[in-house]
């Protein structure tokens, strides 16, 4: 049985498939990212980072049939849009629709937004793969989970620059050296350091 890959242009949309152009492809879990976001955040640009590494995801899940569609929305809280997931048996598509707060993301650095999206997506993957009705065996679910984590790591969405900076600060390294090693601005490293001090009282 052949499955379909979903290709969707970045931009506002109200439901999956609205801007979709579908093409036939082999029987494996394909991966695509779509975005619905404004100009106050970097979510749309960051979605491109996942697209850049998605081929690796498709390759490592070659034995798992179906599609995985990830939607990244950064919207005003007043809209009341919530994160959800669903599995469509008709076309074998597992959808993860992740919504984050525009108020929370606006003004944050790209590195912060990247790692926050990574944290939230990894959590969502774990929940979805444990509860989805997709007809995947435990081994296939673990393959998808592992491929998703590998993809997020490869894109720097997990254990990224801010995580590296935090680890170096915990070792007692100076802020300017940490900034250079992690590839961050000194001001962002200072913010991380202040947050660490606050956490530890």
Q: What is the pLDDT of residues 96-124, one digit of tens each?
A: 888 999 899 988 999 999 999 999 999 99
pLDDT at 153: 94
Question: Is it the case that residue 24 has pLDDT exceeding 60?
Answer: no
pLDDT at 14: 36
Question: Is it the case that residue 6 has pLDDT exceeding 60?
Answer: no
pLDDT at 74: 86
Please choose, from the candidates 124, 101, 110, the residue with its C-alpha nearest in 3D space to the C-alpha of residue 46: 110
Geometric angle at alpha carbon 18, from 14 and 19, rounded to 5°: 115
- CA 168 from chain centre, in angstroms, equals 25
Calpha distance 172→184 (Å, rounded) = 17
Q: What is the DSSP string of 92-108?
A: TEEEEEEEEEHHHHTT-
pLDDT at 40: 58
Please state, for a pLDDT cut of 90, what percent of the chain lies above it. 46
Q: What is the pLDDT of residues 49-90, one digit of tens each?
A: 888 888 888 888 888 888 888 888 888 888 888 998 999 888
pLDDT at 31: 56
pLDDT at 38: 61
> What is the model's pTM?
0.80
Calpha distance 113→77 (Å, rounded) = 17
Output the CA–CA distances (angstroms, integers) from residue 84 to 76, 99, 103, 197, in the order listed.
17, 8, 20, 35
pLDDT at 30: 55
Question: Is it the case that residue 93 has pLDDT exceeding 90?
Answer: no
Calpha distance 192→74 (Å, rounded) = 23
């Amino acid at each position: 049985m052949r499955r379909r890959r979903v290709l969707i242009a970045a931009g506002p949309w109200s439901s999956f498939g609205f801007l979709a152009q579908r093409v036939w492809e082999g029987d494996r879990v394909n991966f695509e990212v779509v975005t619905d976001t404004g100009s106050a955040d970097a979510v749309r640009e960051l979605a491109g980072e996942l697209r850049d590494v998605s081929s690796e995801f498709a390759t490592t899940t070659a034995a798992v049939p179906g599609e995985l569609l990830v939607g990244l929305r950064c919207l005003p809280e007043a809209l009341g849009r919530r994160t959800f997931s669903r599995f469509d048996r008709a076309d074998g598509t597992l959808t993860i629709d992740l919504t984050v707060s525009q108020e929370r993301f606006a003004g944050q650095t790209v590195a912060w937004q990247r790692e926050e999206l990574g944290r939230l997506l990894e959590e969502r993957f774990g929940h979805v793969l444990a509860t989805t009705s997709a007809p995947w065996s435990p081994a296939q679910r673990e393959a998808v989970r592992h491929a998703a984590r590998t993809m997020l790591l490869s894109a720097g969405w997990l254990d990224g620059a801010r995580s590296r900076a935090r680890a170096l600060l915990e070792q007692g390294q100076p802020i300017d050296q940490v900034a250079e090693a992690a590839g961050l601005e000194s001001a962002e490293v200072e913010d991380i350091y202040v947050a660490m001090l606050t956490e530890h009282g």
